[in-house]
Chain A
Amino acid sequence: MEAKPEEKAEIEAPEIEYVSYGGEHHLPLIMNLVDQELSEPYSIFTYRYFVYLWPQLSFLAFHKGKCVGTVVCKMGEHRNTFRGYIAMLVVIKPYRGRGIATELVTRSIRMMMESGCEEVTLEAEVTNKGALALYGRLGFIRAKRLFHYYLNGVDAFRLKLLFPPPRQVL
């Protein structure tokens, strides 16, 4: 039996509640999570841009009333393709490794697919093994490498998931 890692919260999978972005009351929860965990600073406008224009693409994960994870996305026309974009994905440390992030992303991608997106993209640090594994399992490929994309000098991969053309999905 492996020793349990420190700080792991004791939960059962069905105890996680997934909720679509429901309005202003969710915004501070998302902002707090992202501010804590991600290094790039975002202004309030950036958050509003996403959740105001595409509320159906953002999801939150709750455990016993506490927000433990979130995904924030957008979609739109980009050079003749209708494309989804995953802007932020966060799950707080004690809740990682349980598939919460995968579930959040999957819900968002499903919504993008239903909305007519042809593909989904995002950027991830080349050193972020967790994210790369997560998206790899979902079928994302590494389309490009972006040199020194992040301000700390780390490269990024542009990850891309191509949806099969609509007529095959019946």
Chain B
Amino acid sequence: MADKPVYEEASIDGQPPKLASIPASDTTVWADASPLLQAACAGLRDGELIHGDNFNLFAAMSALEIMDPKMDSGIVCTYYSIDEAIENGAAPIPISLDSTIDVRCTIDIMDHLLACEAAWHKGHSLAQTVFSCIYLLRLDRTAPHALLHSYCRIIRATCKAVVSVVSDARTHEEEDLFTMTYGLPLNGDGDDKCLSILNAVEETISRQLRACKATSSKRRLPEDLEPLQSNPNLEEGFCKALLCRLRFRKHFFHVLSCMKRPQGRGLESARKHIASCLTELESILKSADFLRSCFDESCEGDIDDKTTASGFEPIGFDAMLNSRLSAPTPPRAIKILSWKKAVEYFVKLLHDLDVICSYSLDPHLESLLRFVVQFQKSQPDLVARSHLQLLLVQDGKLYGRDPFFAVINKAAALPEATKNHDIQKNESFLQLGMLVMNLLKILCTNAAWQRRKLGKFLQDWRVIYVQLELAFRNEYGEVSSSSNDENTCMKIFQHILLWVEEQTYWIAFRFLILGFELELYSTGEYCMVYWYLYAVLIKLTEKTHLMMAVSHDNAKRKGKKKKDSPKDLARESRIPPAVLFLQCYICLAEGLSMYLSRCLLL
């Protein structure tokens, strides 16, 4: 066996890559290790393996076979480095000496970058999507090309802003690929001025558009403007196509900036920019007809799969150049979204962000929870969900504005006066505040992650209940005190204990319901699930009803000087609508459970 390789050689498909030799330096020298490896082959018998104590599955899976294209991220596919790619003309500046083609190619790059950005948002690495653009990797080179330069700058600044939002939301466990930016030039000098640079370019093109419209109506040109490109028939179409793309980027950047402002102060402005973005996206879609028809050559393949509006392949992209930066994942050709799907993605993202921006920052926790649950039904992606989370939880307060004890105080139907009570400094109440904060964060994660977290979370809520109960017993025992403050403390404990129970059952209910959405239950399990739902709903309804009765008592006590009108008495005996609704759920769950159990018997 000594002179034969033990395994088949890994085959490299297609042509072998160009052999760029890595030269030895002053401190390094190449040494031939073949004799050593040959000797090693002879040293082991068939089936033997030498491994360290720490050889486990993770170590085995992390190993890779060099020069196996499925595993080796360092394998040279096209160029050894970005510089080599540039030297070989992979990203020319200007893109073409023919100004018409140059403009069209610039638009293609813009479109492909949009598609890359959407692919990144959807869960692929930044290195192999947006930063597969060689122009973006060496942004300073693009300075002579104002259009490309300004567009790349704003893309870079936008990506940085989005990475920052998602990082701050700290859902790293679920989507850690998103925020991996090692080795990528995300921080650019002067990127804070990207908007003014973009505005300047936008201005120039606007003037050109006005000029070519003036020419067509045979009015005299006000200034001696250089046209965008050489074909006067295409000037208007190209100007329009460029303007909507530039404006979309401008408004999108504004959306991100506005939403970042603390305590939701920028939400209204953000909505205006969102509306502008949507308008520009429509114009971008419409520009496709012009872009496809302006050249005689038609492009091959299905137009709907293309990553550009024109259908042409963009110049200046190489996803494999950064494959080393994409480790630890194995090298994988990423399928960039089609341009159409990318636009659809951004339309959805903008609608989701708009829902967030329209939210009234309701201080009532129950309303907020309902809003978040409703929002999640539209299956928002990571970027939207991160924005929601950052809006809800800032600086350890709700909306960066309301301390969590005050929120709990209100949710537990305690009088307004108690929200500043010293009891909130008690360890258990501090922990309860943390739990509510974590609950909100968890509710903003994707459904799969959310359900797992909620399941584990139930334990924490049970523990806090026990802790609070213990603290209550220790302070007040069974004796009712006559002191006013002690009465208040007792009341706080009682309300909050009841509220904690209600929340716990609500979490259990969400855990069960999410299983349907995630398709975790097989039909044979439905009977069991509905039975559990029935049991949980009964307890939830009981606690909710108690909570409402207690809150009604408070309201009554406030206005106790007034006589009870017949209307008030009638209202008292009616079951609150929220409770009635839960009772409907109970009936449904009970009925389905019984019906399905009969089906199983048949």
Residue positions of A touching B, CB distance < 8 A? 23-24, 27-28, 40-46, 48-49, 52, 74, 126, 136, 141-148, 151-153, 155, 157
Q: Are A142 and B521 in contact (CB under 8 A)?
A: yes
CA distance A46 to B521 in the complex (A): 32
Q: Supply 14 A–B pairs (Cβ within 8 Å), ascending by A.
A: A23-B46, A23-B47, A24-B46, A41-B68, A41-B70, A41-B330, A46-B61, A48-B49, A141-B522, A144-B520, A145-B447, A145-B451, A145-B518, A157-B520
CA distance A152 to B83 in the complex (A): 30
Q: Is B60 an interface residue (CB 8 A)?
A: yes
Q: Chain B 409-453, CB within 8 Å of chain A: the 1/0 string? A: 000000000000000000000000000000000000011110110
Q: How far is the CB of A135 from chain B (nearest CB, A)?
A: 11
CA distance A145 to B68 in the complex (A): 31
Query: Which applies to chain B's interface (DSSP): helix, strand, loop or mixed?
Result: loop
Q: Are A44 and B7 in contact (CB under 8 A)?
A: yes
Chain A residues within an 8 Å CB radius of B446: 147
Chain A residues within an 8 Å CB radius of B61: 42-43, 46
Chain A residues within an 8 Å CB radius of B522: 136, 141-142
CA distance A49 to B56 in the complex (A): 8
Q: Are A43 and B520 in contact (CB under 8 A)?
A: no
Chain A residues within an 8 Å CB radius of B60: 43, 45-46, 48-49
Nearest-CB residue, chain A, relative to B55? A49
Chain A residues within an 8 Å CB radius of B539: none
CA distance A5 to B123 in the complex (A): 37
Q: Are A52 and B49 in contact (CB under 8 A)?
A: yes
Chain A residues within an 8 Å CB radius of B568: none
Q: Is B174 an interface residue (CB 8 A)?
A: yes
Q: How far is the CB of A38 from chain B (nearest CB, A)?
A: 11
Nearest 10 Cβ contacts at the A-B interface: A41-B70, A24-B47, A145-B448, A147-B448, A49-B60, A45-B60, A145-B518, A43-B63, A142-B520, A46-B60
CA distance A41 to B124 in the complex (A): 18
CA distance A142 to B525 in the complex (A): 10
CA distance A147 to B518 in the complex (A): 10
Nearest-CB residue, chain A, relative to B125? A151
CA distance A40 to B330 in the complex (A): 9
Nearest-CB residue, chain A, relative to B520? A142
User: How many residues of chain B are within 8 Å of chain A by beta carbon?
Assistant: 38
Q: Chain B 582-593, CB within 8 Å of chain A: the 1/0 string? A: 000000000000
Nearest-CB residue, chain B, relative to A26? B47
Q: Are A144 and B47 in contact (CB under 8 A)?
A: no
Q: Are A151 and B57 in contact (CB under 8 A)?
A: no
Contact of A151 with B332 at beta-carbon distance under 8 Å, contacts A41-B68, A145-B518 already known: yes
Nearest-CB residue, chain A, relative to B122? A153
Chain A residues within an 8 Å CB radius of B330: 40-41, 151
Chain A residues within an 8 Å CB radius of B68: 41
Chain B residues within an 8 Å CB radius of A145: 447-448, 451, 518-520
CA distance A141 to B525 in the complex (A): 9
Chain B residues within an 8 Å CB radius of A41: 68, 70-71, 330
A45's partner among B63, B70, B452, B518 (CB-CB below 8 A) is B63
Chain B residues within an 8 Å CB radius of A143: 520
Q: Is B459 an interface residue (CB 8 A)?
A: no
Q: Are B57 and A43 in contact (CB under 8 A)?
A: no
Q: Is B279 an interface residue (CB 8 A)?
A: no
Q: Are A146 and B448 in contact (CB under 8 A)?
A: yes
Q: How far is the CB of B516 from chain A (nearest CB, A)?
A: 12
Q: Are A148 and B175 in contact (CB under 8 A)?
A: yes
Q: Are B448 and A74 in contact (CB under 8 A)?
A: no
Chain B residues within an 8 Å CB radius of A153: 122-124
Chain B residues within an 8 Å CB radius of A146: 448
CA distance A45 to B68 in the complex (A): 14
Can you name 13 extra interface pairs (CB under 8 A) apart from A41-B330, A49-B57, A142-B519?
A41-B71, A43-B63, A43-B65, A45-B59, A142-B520, A143-B520, A145-B451, A145-B518, A147-B174, A151-B330, A153-B122, A155-B448, A157-B520
Q: Are B123 and A43 in contact (CB under 8 A)?
A: no
A151's partner among B56, B329, B452 (CB-CB below 8 A) is B329
